[in-house]
Structures are given as C-alpha cells and as structure tokens.
Structure 1
Amino acid sequence: MADLLNCPNCGKLFVKALRSVCNDCAKEVEEKYNKVYQFIRKRENRRATIDEVTEGTDVEQSLIIQFIREGRIHLSQFPNLGYPCEKCGVMIREQRLCHSCAKDLRQGLHTIDRQKEFDARQKKRENAKIKAYASLDNRLNR
C-alpha cells in the first residue's frame, strides 16, 4: 500500500509510490537532469568539473551529485567529473569514501576488533581465576 506524504521539496501532498517527491517536482528534476546531461554531452564540456557544470547549467551541485550516485551520469565518459568524499570532501570518482578515509575506517575497525579480542581473553582469564578459587573453597569446606 502506498503512503500519503508531503513532498520534501514543495510541501504538496502526494501518494508515494516509486518516487520520494511529487509528480511536479519529479518533472522538474528530470528537466534539470536533461539540462545537465545535454551540457556535459557537448564536446567542449566533456572535461568540465562539477563546479563548471553547476555554473553552466544553474543546477544545484547536490542534485548533480545525486545523478552521479544514482548512476544516471557515468563518470567513465567524463574524466573531470567527480563527487565529494562523504567524510573529508575530497573529490572522488567511485565508492562513498576516498582511499585515505576508507583506510582510516578500516584501521579503526581493526583496532576495535583487536580490543574486543583482548577484552574477551581478559574476561576468560578472570573467569578461570574465579573458578580456580571456587574449587579450592569447595575442597576446604568438605
């Protein structure tokens, strides 16, 4: 069953089915996509950066980034287009994080895993000591 929502762009009430915006806003987004795509398809604009595309089309940079992330604009055809890393903002052409931020994230996760393993070994040692003391107490009480 479809949900009745307010459009996040214009506030109109609409039935959410396949899109997250109303029909009027969806048409507007499509028009902007066509404007961007027509701009970058021109031979002289194929090497444009995202800032140049924004300036040349008057389409918001966030919307152009959305088109790229959705796969509607293929970066393999446009060598200078990219989008910002979600952590540091450096321009990238694939994934969500740049290599440096991804490496930092992996190292952080590795450190957490090592700490969890260390904590588990410590707890196991403490439990072993407790059992040893309990068994000594049991023998003395007999």
Structure 2
Amino acid sequence: MKNVANCPKCGALFVKALRPLCNACYKEQEENYDKVSRFMRRKQNRMASIREVHEKTEVPLEQIHQFVKEGRILVTHFPNMGYPCESCGALIQEGRICESCKGNITGGLEQIQKEKEFKERVAENLKAEESAQNKTYHSLDDRFDK
C-alpha cells in the first residue's frame, strides 16, 4: 500500500495516483483556478495585482502564487502577477529567487572562492620558504664560524 497517503491540505486518507491531493481538495483547487481564470480573462482585470485578485475572488494568495509558479496563469499576459522570492519575499515572475538575492548569493560564493585561493597561495608561499630554508647547509665545525 505504498500509494496510500494523507492529503497535505485536509489530512484525509487517499490513494496517491496522479496528484498529491485528495479528490475533494483537488476539486476545490480547480474551482479556485476557474474563479481566478474567469476574473483575469475580463479585459478590465488584466492589470490587476495578486492582492486585488485575492480580494475579488477570495482565493488564498498561496494558491494564486502556485498557479503562477505552475504556469497555469501566464505572466506574459498578466504582467502584475507573480509570486514571492523564496529568500526575501519580493514579487518575481520566474525562478525561485529574485535577481538581487541571486547577486548576493553569487557575490558571497565568489568571495569564498577568492578567500580559498588566497589561503592556497599563502600555503604555497610558506612551503616554498620552508623548502628554501631546508636547502641551506650549516657547518657544525667551529673552524668556519670565525
């Protein structure tokens, strides 16, 4: 019975076949999508923001975000639609994080890489100095120290 699961939304037991929700929650989700889709198809609503869509349709914001993420609501047709960045919460239309957070992450990674390369160069210089010191010969005979 590996196909039996609890619905993540309502907790009901169901057979997990094609979708991760039970039939009742799936039907509710599809009804919510129809509400949003009908609202957005009207010409005067095409420039509506997510908050306006949420207020007029009473569909939860998270579900509207999910519709945009899944590509069911196309941001090319509705430019004010989007979902929050997973890092800072800014409204984005593709990917998981905004450009600003991407820049912060790549900048941090570049800084770490530079620090690593610097440490490696310092270690190589220390090795070179040690090997140069090891090549110097010292006499133990007192005759040559005078």
Please give the TM-score of this superposition, normalised by the length of structure 2.
0.80
Aligned residues: 138
Unaligned segments of structure 1, at least 5 residues: 137-142
Q: Secondary structure at the match of 1:76?
A: coil
Please tell me the root mean square deviation across aligned C-alpha atoms, in Å: 2.4
Are 2:68 and 2:81, in contact at CA under 8 Å, matched by a contact in 1? Answer: no
Are 1:2 and 1:17, in contact at CA under 8 Å, matched by a contact in 2? Answer: no
1:17 to partner: Cα distance: 2.5
Matches within 5 A, 1:42-121: 42-121=42-121
Please give the TM-score of this superposition, normalised by the length of structure 1.
0.82
1:108 to partner: Cα distance: 0.7
Distance between the aligned counterparts of 2:53 and 2:117, measured in 1?
Answer: 49
Which of structures 1 and 2 has the bigger CA Rg?
A: 2
After superposition, the C-alpha distances for 1:79-127 in whole angstroms (9 at most, x for unaligned) are 2212222222222222222222211111011111112222333344455
Distance between the aligned counterparts of 1:58 and 1:94, measured in 2?
Answer: 24
Q: Which residue of 2 aligns with 1:6?
A: 6
Matched letter for residue 119 of structure 1: K
Unaligned segments of structure 2, at least 5 residues: 137-146
Aligned structure 1 segments of 4 or more residues deviating by more than 6 angstroms? 130-136
